[in-house]
Amino acid sequence: MSHDADATPDTPDTPGTLDTPGTPGTPGTDTTPHLDFEGTTPYEDYVQADVLTHLQHPLSDDPGEMVFLVTTQVMELWFTVIVHEWETAGRALREDRIPVAVDALKRSVRELEALNASWKPLGQLTPAQFNSYRAALGEGSGFQSAMYRRMEFLLGDKSASMLVPHRGAPRVHAELEKALQQPSLYDEVLALLARRGLPVPAEVLEREPGRKYEPSEAVEQVWAAIYGDPDAHAELVRLGEALTDVAELVWRWRNDHLVATRRAMGAKTGTGGSAGVAWLEKRARGQVFPELWTARSHV
């Protein structure tokens, strides 16, 4: 797909010349792009660019708000893609298709890298710059993002209380409630390990899916055994490393969020009444897929 190909035809700009076909069956004989469409362009129909580029409605006169608004919207799009990848990986794991799951996880790693790069335009905001349009956010805060919450649920970080802000949006609330009650990505991983004959304890496998995942010493020992004999568990090691890549980038996302917030507003109360930096510090200390990290000390 080209955004900058030269669309200037070599032939005169007269009716009938812009989309004159080349010799049938001879590829490349006509390099003139098709410019005349009865309605919207096929590109617009597919990408919906006109919709995307008219979703920005700044609420202040500060020119910096546009950057904040667009960057936040881009983050939401990346959340959507990553949720899709992790749900794809979860389905593949249920079907014992580890290569398909690993491919989805690897794609999500590249997407997480792009998501994390979204902090670049916001990472050096001074307090004065942020304050110039902060009031426009009102009670708005990133913790209210439904798609980010679905990401967190897929990572096993579940909390029914986080559905409360979305009670006024029935469709969003229903999607989140469904995600809360479904197995997380890590739940699917552990179920697969059990099907492979590894001693994942029943209390881990049978726990209520709507509860937050808590680390298990027995699961730690399972991962230590897998990593301790990579020849016997090569496929599971690849899965473990793909999950670790995801976990590392989620940790980096949380830390980049913390640093950007601390730089822009210090320790003040966050938007939406959140604890701001204090809440983000607590989030940054948490580990995703915890036993994949602690097991390494026993290999």
Q: Which residues are annotated as a binding site for heme?
A: 257
In the chain, the N- to C-terminal Cα span, in Å, equals: 47
Residue set of the binding site = 134, 257, 271
d(CA 82, CA 108): 6
Residue set of the binding site for substrate = 134, 271
What does 38-69 look like in DSSP terms, one character per residue? SSS-HHHHHH-HHHHTT----SSS-THHHHHH
Do 264 and 123 meet the contact criterion of CB atoms below 8 Å apart?
no
d(CA 10, CA 14): 11
Quote the DSSP letter at residue 57.
-
Kindly report the number of other CB atoms within 10 A of residue 212's CB atom: 13
Do 137 and 65 meet the contact criterion of CB atoms below 8 Å apart?
no
d(CA 75, CA 69): 10
Q: Pick from 100, 14, 2, 15: which is nearest to 43 by CA?
A: 2
Q: Pick from 111, 116, 114, 108: which is nearest to 85 by CA?
A: 108
Phi, psi of 229 (to 5 degrees): -135, 70
Which residue in the block uniquely carries the two structure tokens 């919906």?
Answer: 48
d(CA 132, CA 9): 47
Taking CA atoms, 18 is separated from 1, 2, 6, 33, 37, in Å, by 20, 18, 13, 7, 11
